[in-house]
């Protein structure tokens, strides 16, 4: 039995985004809830529960932490209530749904009677109605459209997953029910693409398996549509529901999945189907060269492999026909019991054996697999076999793929040979079977991973948070620090409390450092970090004993138009304003002072909040002059006292 996958299947963009956002929000130290199940898939909901994400039916069940709004979206009331309860909102509403909600709100403002075409009990439709301030009318069927009274202006919004055919019929009726008609085509392509691909495949196969939650409207719709063109259609949630008897006499089977079905469930289903198909395999009476069959490995020798293909004789695959590159030992590629695709090279040779090739079968199947990997954007695991001019060669599904040197890493990799023998995860970026061209990119996978890590970090990082990081590079204006997948910049002014000329005075590449988050710009993906902020500002210690009125000695460190900076001690400078330099009028500080000159100044102000010390040379000189004068007076007093004493002392002498 051959199993075919529908071209478009499984997670749509909005669902994938919602699940990834939920996973990135999972946090062991905080409560995280989704408001209702994140998607209609119990297995995915179960996986998220394992990561600590609980499901709350309404906001009253959430006391604190984060609430994730699922892809269906909610009305404005929920946002208001969540904010009022102090909950942090993680908005996973699908952007297409958001567009429909906004359209409803705008149509109302513009004076239209808002009509929502969709299923009235669907959470998305309920949310759209709420955004129309609960004024919208929901129309589900052509009959309901017929019953709508005549209105001057009708503005239509559609549930994103509504079936296109019904929609056109409803629109035709609504147009005749008003003078002015406006339609916002908010149906999402993902639904139509999945439906179209499912029907296209269902027409060509003996059985169709539809995977998805039993309560998922879009999956049920897929099953309905496939039923119209295929005799045997089964809607299942997991591989465990597959039954062997479904596949009796089946040569071709199709698989598709609703928008809430993850890839890992689809893979499990396909594998189980292939196994069941094999178990149902019939005896082959006639064998033709060039046929591709499924076979079961029954014996593995170092140089050859024996395969049961349901024929009177077993098939033999030589080591060279087993895989690309040719393995040292056949056991590196297959083991007893494996189910593999085989190509019949020779139906029966002189010895009565069937010569098979796994490489050739893989090659034919490989192009199909590659095409579907390209369509889905799924990463592939490939083994690097050699370095060639301009890049690496890697084995992909037994074919030769090329990874250009520029696509090997996030930065240019000098020594490509380090990757030979490694298995790398890559994305297909070009495929051309006619030209035998398979171009792969590891860089695309790394960029995707980096974006995911970035999303996770930007979802959690907050201003004033202290983080550990590694210095990755230095620039004139600062140092870049990696905080676990995202690089932030420590500006040179935030490296040290001292003034530094180059970042290298403080840090080196590779240093482990503690940093404080100063600014987060999620849109621009920029993070400003501070290193000096993790340390106590030495200015406060150094200035502890500096008070207004004190005289200080210092040296001129910098001259400016408005005055002179005086270094009082390491890391402490004061400013002498130009008006405080000299009694004489000074036009420019440089006219009377020079850098390095020793000066005495008086502290006339200490502003701890702005870390400013105001100094005055004039007042220091005045103090010095005053002190000198006082000294003089004191000396004079003493001299006068002595002279008068000498002169008139006898007048005051007591006569005994
Ligand atoms: Fe969004 Fe379309 Fe999926 S509306 S949730 S991308 S089906």
3-state SS of 343-383?
EEEECCCCCCCEEEEHHHHHHHHHHHHHHHHHHHCCCEEEE
- 646 pLDDT band, cuts 50/70/90, is low
The H or E element that residue 101 is part of is: helix 95-109
- Report CA(290)–ligand 1 centroid distance (Å): 43
- Cα of 193 from ligand 1 centre, angstroms: 11
Q: In angstroms, what is the span from residue 649 Cα to ligand 1's centroid?
A: 114
C-alpha distances in Å from residue 203, one per residue of 207, 229, 252, 369: 10, 5, 11, 21
The single-letter DSSP state of residue 311 is B
Q: Does residue 488 carry a pLDDT above 80? A: yes
Nearest atom, ligand 1, residue 12 CA = 3
Can you give the pLDDT at residue 641?
Answer: 59
Q: How far apart are CA 250 and CA 478, in angstroms?
A: 67
CA of 188 to the centre of ligand 1 (A): 6
- Rounded Cα–Cα distance for residues 466 and 458 (Å): 14
Pocket-forming residues, ligand 1, beta carbon under 6 Å: 12-15, 71, 94, 96-97, 160-161, 188, 190-191, 259
Predicted confidence (pLDDT) at residue 113 exceeds the cutoff of 90:
yes
Band (pLDDT 50/70/90 cuts) for residue 286 is low
562-592 pLDDT, tens digit per residue, is: 999 999 988 889 999 999 999 888 889 999 9
* Among 209, 282, 203, 221, CA closest to 246: 209
pLDDT at 283: 56
Dmax over CA atoms of the chain, in Å, equals 162
| Residue 27's pLDDT band (cuts 50, 70, 90) | low
pTM: 0.47
Write out the two tokens for 189: 């392509």
How far apart CA 616 and CA 311 sit, in angstroms, is 106
The residue with tokens 């007042």 is 619
Residue 218 CA: which ligand 1 atom is closest?
A: 7
**Model pLDDT for residues 202-261, shown as the tens digit of each residue:** 998 999 999 998 877 778 889 999 999 998 999 999 999 999 889 888 888 999 999 889
For ligand 1, what atom is nearest to the CA of residue 72? 5
Rounded mean pLDDT of 621-648? 75
What pLDDT sits at residue 648?
54
pLDDT tens digits, 414-468: 899 999 999 999 999 999 988 889 999 999 999 888 888 888 888 888 899 999 9
**124 classed as catalytic:** yes
Name the strand (E) or helix (H) holding 589.
Answer: helix 589-592
Phi/psi of residue 95, nearest 5 degrees? -55, -30
Average pLDDT over residues 353-375: 85
Output the pLDDT for position 187: 84
**Mutational test site, ligand 1, from 191, 213, 260, 262, max ligand atoms within 8 Å of CB:** 191
The ligand 1 atom at the shortest distance from the C-alpha of residue 95 is 1
Given a contact cutoff of 8 angstroms between Cβ atoms, the answer to whether 407 and 413 are in contact is: no
Residue with more model confidence, 646 or 92: 92
Q: Is the pLDDT of residue 28 over 80?
A: no
Please give the pLDDT value at position 571. 80
pLDDT, one tens digit per residue, over 508-562 is 999 999 999 999 888 788 999 999 999 888 888 888 889 999 999 999 999 998 9
**Which two structure tokens, joined as six digits, stand for 144?**
């309901």
Question: Which of 479, 510, 481, 482 lies closest to 493, judged by CA?
Answer: 479
Distance of CA 156 from the midpoint of ligand 1 (Å):
19
Q: Is the pLDDT of residue 390 over 70?
A: yes
8 Å CB contact between 603 and 546: yes
Please determine, for residue 267, whether its predicted confidence score (pLDDT) is greater than 90: no
**pLDDT > 60? residue 377:** yes
Catalytic, out of 124, 237, 321, 580: 124
The answer to whether the beta carbons of residues 581 and 593 sit under 8 Å apart is yes
Tokens found for residue 59? 């906001």
Return the percentage of the chain with pLDDT > 90, whole number: 55
34-48, 110-124, 464-478: lowest mean pLDDT where?
Answer: 34-48
Tell me, what's the pLDDT at 538? 82
- Give 157-208 pLDDT, tens digit per residue: 999 888 656 788 899 999 999 999 999 988 888 888 899 999 999 998 999 9
**Whether the predicted pLDDT of 97 surpasses 90:** yes
- Residue 406's alpha-carbon distances to 428, 441, 521, 617, in angstroms, are 14, 9, 30, 64
* Half-sphere CA count of 590, side-chain side, radius 13 A: 4
Q: Which protein residue has the closest C-alpha to ligand 1 atom 2?
A: 188
Q: 202-211, 280-289, 476-485: lowest mean pLDDT where?
A: 280-289
Q: Give pLDDT tens digits for 393-408.
A: 998 887 889 999 999 9
Q: Whose CA is nearest to atom 6 of ligand 1?
A: 14
- Given ligand 1 and candidates 12, 159, 261, which is best to mutate, with the most ligand atoms within 8 Å of its CB? 12
Residues 382/374, Cβ–Cβ less than 8 Å: no
Average pLDDT, the chain: 88
Residue 383 pairs in a beta bridge with: 395, 423
pLDDT at 316 over 50: yes
Q: Calculate how far, in angstroms, residue 325's C-alpha sits from the geometric centre of ligand 1.
A: 42
The ligand 1 atom at the shortest distance from the C-alpha of residue 97 is 4
Over range 94-101, report the average pLDDT.
92
Residue 615's CB is within 10 A of a number of other CB atoms, namely: 30
Tell me how far apart the alpha carbons of residues 485 and 264 are, in angstroms, rounded to a whole number: 26
Q: How confident is the model at residue 656 (pLDDT cuts 50, 70, 90)?
A: very low
Q: What is the pLDDT of residue 650?
A: 57
Q: Provide the percentage of residues in the chain whose pLDDT is more than 70.
A: 95
DSSP sequence for 181-220: EEEE----HHHHHHHHHHHHHHTTSSEEEEES-TT-HHHH
pLDDT for 148 beyond 70:
yes
């Amino acid at each position: 039995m051959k199993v075919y996958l529908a071209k478009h299947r499984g997670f749509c963009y909005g669902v994938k985004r919602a699940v990834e956002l939920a996973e990135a929000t999972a946090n062991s130290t905080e409560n995280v809830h989704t408001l209702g199940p994140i998607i209609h898939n119990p297995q995915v909901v179960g996986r998220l529960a394992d990561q600590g994400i609980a499901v709350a039916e309404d906001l009253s069940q959430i006391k604190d932490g984060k609430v994730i709004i699922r892809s269906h979206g909610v009305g404005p009331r929920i946002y208001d209530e969540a904010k009022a309860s102090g909950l942090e909102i993680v908005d996973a509403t699908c952007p297409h749904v958001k567009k429909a909600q906004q359209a409803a709100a705008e149509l109302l403002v513009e004076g239209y009677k808002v009509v929502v075409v969709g299923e009235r009990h669907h959470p998305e439709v309920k949310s759209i109605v709420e955004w129309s301030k609960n004024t919208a009318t929901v129309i589900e069927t052509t009959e309901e459209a017929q019953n709508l009274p005549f209105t001057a202006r009708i503005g239509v919004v559609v549930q994103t997953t509504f079936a296109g055919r019904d929609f056109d019929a409803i629109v035709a009726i609504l147009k005749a029910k008003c003078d002015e008609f406006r339609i916002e085509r908010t149906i999402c392509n993902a639904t139509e693409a999945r439906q179209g691909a499912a029907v296209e495949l269902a027409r060509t196969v003996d059985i169709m398996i539809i995977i998805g939650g039993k309560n998922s409207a879009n999956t049920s719709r897929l099953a309905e549509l496939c039923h119209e063109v295929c005799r045997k259609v089964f809607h299942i949630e997991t591989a465990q529901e597959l039954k062997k008897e479904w596949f009796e006499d089946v040569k071709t089977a199709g698989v598709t999945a609703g928008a809430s079905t993850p890839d890992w469930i689809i893979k499990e289903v396909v594998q189980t189907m292939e196994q069941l198909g094999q178990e149902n395999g019939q005896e082959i009476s006639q064998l033709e060269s060039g046929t591709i069959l499924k076979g079961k490995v029954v014996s593995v020798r170092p140089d050859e492999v024996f395969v049961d293909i349901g024929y009177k004789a077993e098939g033999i695959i030589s080591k060279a026909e087993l895989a690309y590159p040719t393995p040292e030992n056949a056991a590196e590629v297959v083991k007893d019991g494996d189910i593999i695709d085989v190509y019949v090279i020779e139906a029966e040779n002189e010895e009565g054996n069937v010569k098979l090739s796994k490489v050739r079968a893989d090659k034919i199947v490989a192009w199909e697999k590659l095409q579907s990997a390209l369509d889905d954007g799924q990463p592939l695991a490939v083994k690097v076999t050699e370095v060639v001019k301009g890049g690496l060669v890697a084995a992909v599904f037994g074919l030769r793929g090329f990874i250009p040197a520029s696509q090997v890493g996030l930065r240019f990799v000098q020594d490509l040979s380090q990757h030979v023998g490694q298995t790398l995860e890559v994305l297909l970026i070009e495929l051309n079977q006619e030209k035998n061209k398979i171009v792969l990119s590891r860089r695309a996978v790394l960029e995707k991973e980096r974006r995911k890590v970035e999303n996770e970090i930007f979802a959690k990082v907050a201003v004033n948070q202290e983080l550990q990081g590694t210095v990755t590079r230095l620039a004139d204006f600062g140092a870049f620090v990696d905080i676990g997948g995202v690089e932030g910049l420590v500006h040179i002014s935030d490296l040290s409390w001292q003034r530094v000329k180059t970042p290298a005075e403080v840090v080196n590449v590779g240093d482990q450092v503690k940093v404080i988050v100063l600014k987060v710009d999620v849109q621009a993906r920029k993070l400003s970090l501070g290193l000096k902020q993790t340390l106590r500002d030495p200015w406060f210690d150094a200035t502890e004993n500096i008070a207004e009125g004190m005289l200080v000695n210092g040296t001129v460190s910098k001259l400016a138009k408005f005055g002179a900076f005086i270094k009082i001690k390491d890391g402490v400078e004061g400013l002498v304003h130009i008006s405080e330099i000299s009694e004489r009028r000074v036009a420019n500080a440089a006219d009377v002072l020079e850098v390095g000159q020793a000066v005495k100044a008086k502290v006339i102000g200490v502003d701890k909040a702005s870390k400013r010390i105001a100094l005055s040379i004039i007042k220091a000189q005045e103090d010095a002059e005053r002190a000198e004068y006082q000294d003089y007076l004191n000396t004079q007093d003493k001299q006068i006292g002595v002279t008068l004493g000498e002169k008139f002392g006898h007048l005051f002498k007591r006569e005994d």
